Structure 1
Amino acid sequence: MQYLTPDNPVFVTYAIAAALMVVKLMGQGWLTVYRMMKSDSGLVNPEDLRQTPLNPHPRDDQLELNDYVDRSRRMHRNDLENIPGFWAAGLLFVFAAPPLWLAQGLMYGFVGARLLHAWAYLSKQNHEVRATFYTIGSVIVIYMALHALVALLG
């Protein structure tokens, strides 16, 4: 069986989940930019205070921490710490030829956990709520990596 073809439903599951996570990751960056523009704050570098068409009236306070912007930036950083591991482990998992039901449950479960983590962050849920969704996603990635390791070495 060819593993990386549209004829392999496990690969198709991975491709859909991976593409959704690309959209999530890139969209989070755009959400941060939107929040910076909406609040006219949240800049991080001194050179950002230069007068430009997008910042016609720079002010020193634009460099101050703004939770509205920084919350999105923290979400983006969290995605950058978690989604690449899914991409790698998920691809290795495809080569382990798991049952389709398992691949769908784990891969779509990861997507769901990341989306719920984003919801928890945006709606300012407490740490335990965010940590629950992080943990679900993390355990899924670890399981896929270990499953692939055992299957491929086995």
Structure 2
Amino acid sequence: MKEIAPNIWADIINAISDQDTFVGKIFGKVEEKSGRSRYQTAKLLAFVIVAFLIFSTSAEVLCNLICFCYPAVKTIMEIEVKEKINFNQWMFYWVVFGLFTISDFFAHIIGDIFPFYWLLKFIFFLWLFMPSCRGAEKLYEKLVKHCYNRQ
């Protein structure tokens, strides 16, 4: 469990360092224009996202946007490949995302009682979709597959 945060950070570093990806190219341009390293920019962006998720009244939009966009791209990429190595990971991710979308109807009530709801949801979804964690697949293996095989 304690290796989750370093693994997520390593995934982020890999993404911003890869000049062949959209994210890597954006961070490269920011590095070029600002004179700050892409790693400093990533840390600043992470701080801003965390602050926004804790203090902003629009935290729901940011959380759901991030939790939708990256997984949507990865799911489309998975659909396009012949070998469906990550199929279970992404299909179960969308099941969990859908369940949370329904429960978010009550998020304003939860947020009043527990102000860190959007931050914790964001961290949970990072765990679900980051390549080094593959939380959705782990959740499927531990809960759904285990319960389904018992019947």
Which fold has the larger relative contact order, with Cα–Cα distance below 8 Å and residues 6 or more apart in sequence?
A: 1
- For the pair shown, which has the larger CA radius of gyration, 1 or 2? 1
Structure with more helix by fraction: 2
Q: TM-score, normalised by structure 2?
A: 0.44
